[in-house]
Amino acid sequence: MTLPALTPDLLIAGLLLLPLIAASTTVLTGKWDNLRDTLSIATGVITAFFAISLFRHISAGGEASLSLFTFAPGFTIDFVVEPLGALFALVAGCLWPVATLYSVGYMRGAHEKNHTRFFFYYAVAIHAAMGIALSGNLLTLFIFYEILTFSTYPLVTHKGNAESVASGRVYLGILVSSSVAFLLLGMIGVWSIAGDLTFVPGGVLADRLDPTYAPILLALFAFGIGKAALMPLHRWLPAAMVAPTPVSALLHAVAVVKAGVFTVLKVVIYIFGTDYLLSTGASVWLVWVASFTLLAASVVAIQKTNLKARLAYSTITQLAYVVLGAALATSIAVQGAALHILMHAAGKITLFFCAGAIYVAHHHSDLRDMDGLGRRMPVTFFCFALGALSIMGIPPLGGAWSKFMLMIGALDAGQTVIVFVLMISSLMNLYYLGQPVIRGFFAPSSDKEETLAEAPLTMLIPIMLTALASVLLFFYADLFLLTFEGVAP
């Protein structure tokens, strides 16, 4: 029997359906832990293959689209893949099997309960992320954006205690209220002006929107996309840190926050158009909001001694980099913002993986308890150092390229002050992300026992893979940059 060729529309269908298949098999095999987890990882590997194949197709100049159905004239569920969407699908698809393998080790090592429920909602969240990545219009994106919110809520409240339930209310309250109050209103505004919700190169609003109202409409999107965590709509992100560490990795690197900044970029590029924003100055205010967010979040991060809380505020900072690049609206700034989605994903998932490994192996989550721990967990702390250096933007780690491009993009936009903002932020990154490494390797330990005690291999292997990816991305960044060249000319 000959298998059907993986045509572009089949690749799209596969990326949407494979996570749902994984969710179904998770429920059906829930009584057999090893079988359930093996099938989840296997489905993730196949999904990664589909994501890589689609990205290669788009990178080679190919096209991919899939239309499902129409609610009414102009209201359709369509999937159209462009370079930015192919990148997000690549990030989610490739990190999913790695995160699943890590989750197996964490959930067992930390003696968490309800594994089947956990992996079911994890898979549904990946399905929603794929729907967002491949969406061809605002309506399709909005539907999957909401699915992602509701599918991750049970993960945030997984522990079921009072703290996680309260945090879940904050999580759901902010994300749902912002999307309904602002994002939906912004979509209505686009429809009323353009009569179309389709993502169009150059912007569907170009030459149709009065520049006087452009900043207002942009604000509805910027604050309606709560997953981008702009201040003051950022509190859901640190609140969600009560969830198990694999959920934190999903929120910060694989799906949720990446969906937020991806949506911001899509709106800037395909709804407003970068040329329109540059010529009208409609996004200048957003440059300063993003700058304030990245500096303020860094200040808060420095004060946190809980490692996951520190990493949460670090994520808010890094998301602001992407929003800043979109708001600058120059070609190189937008490309740098798109590249930073990839670089931050590899670096930040490494950091959260390491935080989870430390908790499973030694039950430590406070920095003050980690003095000398690096000598007992050298692999984990070395990988943490690599992930941190990438987030800081230090070569030869991947984050160096995206931060450099953002600085050049700021100069192109005539925003010299923003270059200093980025430099100050990087110095603050150096402090609050470098401190755990320095204390871990060089501070005297209160524990006289310094024998090696790493986390299980099911956790250690994913940590090493994502840390290695942070290094390799520095040397192979051009593979992605060539794809982005035509996104924001």
**Residue 395 structure tokens:** 């070569």
Task: Name the residue with higher pLDDT: 209 or 15.
Answer: 15
**Residue 278 structure tokens:** 């540059």
Predicted confidence at residue 90, as pLDDT, reads 94
357 is a domain residue? yes
CA 353 to chain centre: 15
Predicted confidence at residue 243, as pLDDT, reads 77
410 is a domain residue? yes
448 is a domain residue? yes
352 is a domain residue? yes
Number of domains, the chain = 1
Q: Which domain holds residue 447?
A: 283-489
What is the percent of the chain with per-residue pLDDT over 70, rounded to a whole number?
97
Q: Is the pLDDT of residue 1 over 60?
A: no
Q: Is the pLDDT of residue 74 over 80?
A: no
392 is a domain residue? yes
**Residue 128 structure tokens:** 């929603």
d(CA 347, CA 266): 23
413 is a domain residue? yes
439 is a domain residue? yes
Task: Name the residue with higher pLDDT: 74 or 391.
Answer: 391
Average pLDDT taken over every residue of the chain: 90
308 is a domain residue? yes
Strand runs labelled E in 43-166: 64-72, 75-81
pTM of the model: 0.93
d(CA 262, CA 249): 17
Average pLDDT (43-71) is: 91
Is-contact 323 261, C-beta < 8 A?
yes
Predicted confidence at residue 75, as pLDDT, reads 82
- Can you list the pairs that 297-305 forms with residues at least 24 positions away whose Cβ atoms lie under 8 Å? 297/231, 297/234, 298/425, 298/428, 298/429, 298/432, 299/428, 301/428, 301/432, 302/428, 302/431, 302/432, 304/432, 305/366, 305/367, 305/368
Average pLDDT (275-297) is: 93
d(CA 488, CA 355): 37
Burial of 168 (0-12, 13-18, 19+ CB in 10 A): buried
Q: Is the pLDDT of residue 137 over 60?
A: yes
Tokens 């006289």, residue located:
448
Task: Name the residue with higher pLDDT: 3 or 471.
Answer: 471
What is the percent of the chain with per-residue pLDDT over 90, rounded to a whole number?
64
Q: Is the pLDDT of residue 450 over 90?
A: no
